[in-house]
Amino acid sequence: METAERLKRLKSIEGHVRGVERMIEDEAYCIDVIRQLQAIEAALKKITLGILNDHLHSCLITAVQGDDPAERGRVLSEVAQVYAAAARA
């Protein structure tokens, strides 16, 4: 996914968040609010996974093929931290 497409999706998510704000202000039915929040979470997850995929295919590969063991370790540690945080969520 290209940067422009990601930005477009983020703007859409922003609009959905504003919509949820209005729903809460209007005391909308709880399940309707939850469904909208779940849709927002799914959209954010899709963007997150795309960025992670790009990172794995660029930064990670560059670090692993590089000559600096500290950089390899740093980048691998970052990816492990991201996966650990996702598992806790």
Report the pLDDT value the prediction gives residue 1, as an integer from 0 to 100: 80
Looking at the 3D structure of the chain, how many domains does it have? 1
- What is the tens place of the pLDDT at every residue in 25-44? 999 999 999 999 999 999 99
- pLDDT-based confidence at 88, cuts 50/70/90? confident
pLDDT tens-place string over residues 68-87: 999 999 999 999 999 898 88
Rounded to two decimals, what is the model's pTM? 0.83
Cβ partners under 8 Å of residue 42, min gap 6:
none
Number of neighbouring beta carbons within 10 Å of residue 9: 16
Rounded to the nearest integer, the mean pLDDT of the chain is 94
Please give the residue range of the domain that contains residue 12: 3-88
What CATH number did the domain enclosing 22 receive?
1.20.58.1000
